[in-house]
């Protein structure tokens, strides 16, 4: 059972961690837009984040679309609203399901990888060696990885959404004999620019949160090789939590915007 001093220490540790993460983010904004820019490392990290996550994103999106359609179809048939299935699936995937689930996948795949990679470099003193040699390890290691996550995650979300819709179409084609043209006419006929834009914007914030937390945990890794595993694990947990928080805030902002 926790006593009051333990709770007090945990609350203080939580706010200290939030403060350190905020300073880390502030350093990123200070150094991220100053020359020189590490373009080669940035492109390399874009490949690591995007291409190496592509297969997992495609498979996940495809299965999400199929499962969501299979689960929703009997209920809509019961209420006589089967014709609304393509538009409902399209709106749900584009607005909410696609961005959040793809971001969670990237938090597990990318966030843990960045945390483990930078943590290994920290405990083996490679980062210290870069500082001694006169280079800026923060700009080379951290800035490039965060920018890669920011730019690649929206692209992964768009690809995942596309394959999710295609998986939904296959189910409808097999079970309901719905043609390709009819299905996607219903999907895009009910999608508006206001549906796609908020989902794309919050994907940038998802990518920033995943890259920031992964880099922070790895860059400040301690306790030797054990700390590398801790950094990778906590990077996944914290970045996943931030994805839900950002999504909640984005929904509130979008709701206020629609009311105006």
For the chain, how long is the longest CA-to-CA vector?
A: 70
CA atoms within 13 A on the CB side of 58: 6
On the question of pLDDT at 5 being above 80, the answer is no
User: What are 131-178's pLDDT values in tens digits?
Assistant: 888 778 899 999 999 999 999 999 999 999 999 999 999 988 888 788
Q: Which helix H or strand E contains 129, and what residues bound it?
A: helix 126-132
Distances (CA, A) of 2 to 15, 77, 87: 19, 52, 50
pLDDT-wise least confident of 25-29, 128-132, 202-206: 128-132
pLDDT-wise least confident of 40-44, 49-53, 146-150: 49-53
Separation between Cα atoms, residue 56 and residue 105, nearest integer Å:
8
On the question of pLDDT at 4 being above 80, the answer is no
User: What are 71-94's pLDDT values in tens digits?
Assistant: 888 888 888 777 888 888 888 899
CA atoms within 13 A on the CB side of 134: 0
* Residue extents of the structural domains in the chain: 38-259
Task: Report the predicted TM-score, pTM, of the whole model to 2 decimal places.
Answer: 0.90
């Amino acid at each position: 059972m926790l006593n009051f001093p333990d709770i007090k220490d945990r609350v203080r540790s939580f706010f200290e961690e939030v403060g350190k993460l905020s300073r880390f983010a502030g350093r990123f904004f200070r150094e991220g837009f100053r020359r020189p820019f590490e373009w080669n490392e940035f492109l390399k990290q874009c490949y690591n984040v995007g291409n190496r996550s592509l297969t997992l994103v495609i498979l996940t999106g495809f299965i999400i679309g199929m499962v969501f359609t299979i689960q929703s179809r009997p209920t809509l048939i019961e209420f006589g609203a089967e014709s609304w299935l393509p538009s409902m699936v399209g709106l749900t995937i584009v607005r909410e399901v696609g961005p959040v689930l793809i971001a969670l996948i990237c938090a597990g795949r990318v966030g843990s990888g960045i945390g483990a990679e930078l943590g290994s470099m920290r405990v083996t003193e490679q980062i210290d060696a870069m500082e001694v040699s006169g280079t800026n390890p923060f700009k080379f290691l951290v800035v490039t990885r965060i920018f890669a996550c920011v730019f690649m995650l929206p692209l992964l979300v768009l690809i995942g959404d596309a394959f999710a819709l295609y998986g939904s179409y296959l189910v409808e084609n097999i079970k309901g004999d719905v043609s390709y043209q009819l299905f996607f006419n219903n999907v895009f006929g009910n999608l508006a620019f206001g549906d796609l834009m908020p989902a794309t914007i919050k994907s940038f914030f998802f990518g920033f949160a995943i890259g920031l937390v992964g880099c922070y945990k790895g860059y400040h890794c301690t306790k030797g090789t054990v700390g590398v595993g801790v950094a990778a694990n906590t990077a996944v947990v914290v970045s996943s939590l931030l994805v839900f928080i950002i999504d909640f805030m984005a929904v509130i902002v979008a709701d206020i915007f629609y009311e105006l």
